[in-house]
Amino acid sequence: MRHILRRREIVTDDWCYAGETAVPDAPLIVPLAELRADAARWRQRPGRLGVLLAPEDPVEELADELPRLALVAVQFPNVGDGRGYSQGRLLRERLGFTGELRAVGAGVRQDRVYLLARCGFDTLELAAAEDPDAALRAWSRYSVGYQPGDPQVPLARQRFLAPPA
């Protein structure tokens, strides 16, 4: 059983990655390449569908598929690769994605929770051996931020707000 942090709670993961389940309608996360290879088939699959993005994947190409997707998982393969932060923000702000936005990979550590949350990630699949309780505490480490971001930080406490949509 995999535990994840979802909206500041430690919960059991109800999603599977391709190859992890034989249940036909289990919530399933597939890599973007697989989704692209046979979009029609995936559209017809029963059950909720999610996609797994690699850091170099252009999120704009997901625009057509997004309404069908309940989850987008963004890979952070190591702590130094920051491309996923841009992918997260673009998914939320530009593509209007409102489903579960999940950060996954060896780079998802307690010391990045603040940044991840402020880029729109609501779910963290922590790196192996990372302490979920510590990550949960880290989620509340800052009460302020200089940029628009995590809605958990009160808007009035932010500066340089984006113009109203």
Give contact residues for other proteins (rule: CB under 8 A).
79-83, 85-86, 89, 93-94, 109, 111, 114-119, 141-149, 157, 159-163, 165
3-state SS, residue 28: strand
Nearer to other proteins, 40 or 155 (CB): 155
Smallest gap from Cβ 79 to other proteins, in A, equals: 6
User: Can you tell me which residue has the tokens 């010391």?
Assistant: 111
| Nearest distance, CB of residue 152 and other proteins, angstroms | 13
Tell me the longest C-alpha to C-alpha distance in the chain. Answer: 49
Are 28 and 51 in contact, with CB atoms under 8 Å apart?
no
- Closest approach, Cβ 148 to other proteins, in A, equals 7
Nearer to other proteins, 36 or 83 (CB): 83
Structure tokens at 74: 């963004």
User: Which residue intervals of 25-131 are DSSP H helices?
Assistant: 32-37, 39-44, 83-89, 113-118
CB of 44 vs other proteins, minimal distance in Å:
32
Measured from the CB atom, is 69 or 116 closer to other proteins?
Answer: 116
Question: Which residue, 15 or 114, is less far from other proteins as judged by CB?
Answer: 114
